[in-house]
């Protein structure tokens, strides 16, 4: 069985390494992009099973990147989990409106818990909806 | 036939015809010379004065020519015969010569026919520049000049049609280009709500291609819902209002916030045009609103970033080294982990308070089953209580509880906060009792503990920001001991039009109450 491919779009090196490590240890094939443009390039070149998307990125933010991808690929679907430390209502709503399967606030989860949510999403379920009071 | 000539015919040209038109002619009344005119087609370009007047004078010209030739030849032959009779020359040569002459003349008179045939041939092959060179003053001459005129006119018409077509095509191309460049989505519907036209921006907004859109009934493939997920009829969206953004659900349930304006197309029903929908993308506007972070939001994002690394790496480290660490080492590392999580809670609470301060704490109210909610929260906090050897119980009145409308997530938070406080401020072996009662138009919920109680001078400041009863927390407590919990709980309860208060006795315990209005 081919390992599932995950694209992680994250600009903070420590955090990118953290999740990259945890996901690889759980048996996934992980590619890391450090900004929106690099992420889009990856998506054009390779097929991924899941996109883990940070929002605060240099230049094009995560939501803009997702919207850009969607406008170039009308009708196609992509499994996305927002993985961010932003939690504003409007941002969460926008993420789900763009079709995200889940929204996780990084600081509220251990890497192990994140891996569990990812497994959930890959199996077709939802992956986290932040608490509206405390998220942001 | 003559009656059907157009009304505005210049009377000047055809006095005979006008006369005849006004008194429907009987055959015997028609001037013989006009007889051929009866056969003239309706569409005869009647501006060509000279030719038509020639009609009457050119008929029978040919016949007259031939008659003239025959007569002359006959007379000449008779005279020749009579004259030559006396001279005794062979007489029968004359009739032969005469016939020869007549035949030659007739052939000569009919020669234009060849040129006319040639010309007509060329015209039928659309070579309208050709001119039939026949200028004889007889029927052939008339035919030739009429044909030439007709060819010239056809030429002119053909060129004009071609030019008009070019203009139309280039206009259509311009309109097409403009239509597809519109940044708003435009959908044109016929009278049966079928999509006739859609531009490129519509493709982006709906997720369908033009081919998938055209021909479909719009309600079969696209729906518009408002923020309460109620379906909106686009025909109701004919007026521009400030806040009428709806969600367009297109292909594969993809959703897009748009502003929709629907305009009926008035005019001929035969064109089968119903209405135009204009869809304005509201996504970027919403995003601008959202990503404009205030200071607290930015600060908390920045604080959470290194915290993620601390919690993350520590968690993995503990998991990977569980077997090689001593209990002492594990204990120390766990305390670091707990402190890091507390930091996370503080940041969460700061954000909540900021929301309360801004008035941005929004509720989504829905009918709640209060009994079920209490049962759920108590069940979920059992583990936390058990860790401190505290008994947590739920005491509910008999019978059905009246209905409450509220935000389930936030009210759950209030309960969690009160129960967590009770656990944190109780010693080992204590009891916590969650209960509720109906009083008038309210349900009053209570959380009672047997903990250390609250000093009297603290009671007044209990639900304010950052207030903490000093020194009371256990070292191992994993609590939201930020001093913000009660302030946030109070804000939530008061947003629900309820009240929150407490009773306490030092070293005996405390009871926290909050009320929620019932739905009448």
What pTM, to 2 d.p., does this model score? 0.52
Q: Looking at CA atoms only, how far is residue B263 from chain A in angstroms?
A: 27
Higher pLDDT, B65 or B474: B65
Is the pLDDT assigned to residue A62 strictly greater than 90?
Answer: yes
Least confident range from B26-40, B188-202, B311-325, B395-409: namely B26-40
Contact B155, B243 (CB under 8 A): no
Q: Residue B301 and residue A97: Cβ atoms within 8 Å?
A: no
What is the Cα–Cα distance from B220 to B193, expressed in whole angstroms?
10
Contact B364, B345 (CB under 8 A): no
Q: Residue B204 and residue A135: Cβ atoms within 8 Å?
A: no
Question: pLDDT at position B9, please?
Answer: 45
What is the Cα–Cα distance from B318 to B333, expressed in whole angstroms?
8
B322 touches A: beta carbon within 8 Å: no
The arithmetic mean of pLDDT across residues B226-230, rounded, is 72
Question: pLDDT at position A55, please?
Answer: 93
Question: pLDDT at position B483, please?
Answer: 66
Residues of B in contact with A93 (CB under 8 A): 286, 290
Q: Looking at CA atoms only, how far is residue A65 from chain B in angstroms?
A: 12
Q: Looking at CA atoms only, how far is residue A74 from chain B in angstroms?
A: 5
Q: Residue A107 and residue B203: Cβ atoms within 8 Å?
A: no
Binding-site residues on chain A for chain B (CB distance < 8 A): 12, 14-15, 18-19, 21-22, 56, 61, 63-64, 67, 70-71, 74-75, 77, 85-91, 93-94, 97, 99, 105-108, 110-112, 131-136
Is the pLDDT assigned to residue A20 strictly greater than 50?
Answer: yes
Residues 6+ apart with CB under 8 A from B54: B142
Contact A22, B316 (CB under 8 A): yes
Q: Which of these, B41, B59, B56, lies nearest to B2 by C-alpha position?
A: B41
pLDDT band, very low/low/confident/very high, at B291 (cuts 50, 70, 90): low
Residue with tokens 């926008």: A94
């Amino acid at each position: 069985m081919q390992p599932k491919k995950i694209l992680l779009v994250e600009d903070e090196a420590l955090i990118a390494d953290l999740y990259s490590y945890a996901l690889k240890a759980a048996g996934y094939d992980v590619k890391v992009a450090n900004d929106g443009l690099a992420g889009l390039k990856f998506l054009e070149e390779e097929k991924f099973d899941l996109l883990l998307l940070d929002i605060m990125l240099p230049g094009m933010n995560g939501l803009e990147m997702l919207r850009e991808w969607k406008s170039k690929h009308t009708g196609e679907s992509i499994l996305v989990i927002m993985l961010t430390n932003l939690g504003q209502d409007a941002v969460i709503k926008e993420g789900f409106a763009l079709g995200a399967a889940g929204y996780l606030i990084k600081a509220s989860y251990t890497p192990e818990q994140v891996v569990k949510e990812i497994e959930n999403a890959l199996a077709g379920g939802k992956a986290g909806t932040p608490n509206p009071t405390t998220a942001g | 036939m003559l009656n059907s000539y157009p009304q505005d015919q210049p009377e000047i040209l055809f006095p005979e015809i006008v006369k005849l038109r006004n008194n429907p002619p009987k055959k015997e009344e028609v001037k013989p010379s006009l007889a051929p005119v009866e056969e003239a087609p309706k569409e005869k370009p009647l501006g060509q004065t000279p030719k038509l007047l020639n009609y009457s004078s050119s008929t029978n010209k040919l016949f007259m020519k031939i008659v003239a030739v025959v007569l002359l030849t006959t007379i000449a032959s008779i005279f020749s015969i009579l004259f030559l009779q006396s001279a005794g020359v062979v007489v029968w040569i004359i009739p032969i010569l005469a016939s020869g002459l007549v035949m030659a003349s007739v052939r000569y008179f009919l020669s234009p026919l060849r040129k006319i045939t040639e010309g007509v041939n060329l015209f039928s092959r659309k070579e309208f520049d050709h001119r039939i060179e026949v200028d004889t003053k007889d029927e052939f001459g008339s035919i030739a000049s009429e044909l030439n005129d007709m060819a010239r006119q056809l030429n002119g018409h053909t060129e004009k049609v071609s030019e008009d077509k070019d203009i139309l095509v280039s206009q259509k191309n311009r309109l097409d280009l403009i239509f597809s460049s519109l940044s708003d989505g435009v959908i044109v519907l016929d009278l049966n709500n079928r999509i006739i036209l859609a531009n490129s921006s519509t493709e982006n907004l709906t997720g369908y291609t033009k081919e998938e859109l055209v021909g479909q009934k719009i309600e079969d493939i696209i729906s518009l819902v408002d923020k309460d997920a109620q379906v909106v009829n686009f025909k109701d969206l004919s007026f521009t209002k400030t806040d009428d953004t709806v969600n367009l659900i297109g292909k594969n349930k993809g959703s897009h916030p748009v502003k929709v304006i629907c305009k009926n197309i008035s005019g001929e029903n035969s064109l089968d045009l119903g209405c135009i929908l204009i869809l304005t993308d509201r996504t970027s506007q919403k995003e601008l609103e959202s990503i404009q972070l205030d200071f607290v939001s930015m600060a908390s994002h920045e604080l959470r970033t290194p915290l993620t690394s601390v919690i993350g790496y520590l968690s993995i480290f503990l998991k990977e080294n569980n077997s090689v660490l001593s209990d002492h080492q594990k204990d120390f590392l766990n305390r670091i982990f707990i402190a890091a999580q507390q930091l996370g809670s503080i940041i969460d609470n700061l954000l909540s308070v900021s929301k309360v301060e801004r008035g941005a704490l929004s509720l989504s109210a829905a009918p709640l089953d209060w009994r079920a909610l209490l049962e759920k929260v108590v069940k979920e906090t059992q583990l936390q209580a058990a860790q401190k050897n505290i008994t947590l119980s739920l005491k509910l009145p008999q019978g059905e509880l009246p209905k409450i409308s509220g935000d389930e997530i936030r009210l759950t938070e209030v309960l969690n906060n009160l129960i967590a406080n009770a656990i944190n401020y109780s010693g080992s072996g204590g009891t916590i009792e969650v209960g509720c009662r109906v009083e008038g138009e309210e349900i009053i919920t209570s959380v009672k503990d047997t903990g250390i109680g609250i000093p009297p001078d603290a009671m007044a400041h209990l639900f304010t920001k950052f207030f903490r009863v000093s020194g009371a927390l256990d070292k191992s407590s994993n609590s939201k001991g930020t001093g913000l919990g009660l302030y946030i709980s109070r804000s939530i309860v008061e947003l629900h039009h309820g009240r929150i208060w407490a009773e306490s006795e030092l070293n005996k315990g405390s009871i926290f109450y909050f009320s929620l209005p019932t739905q009448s």
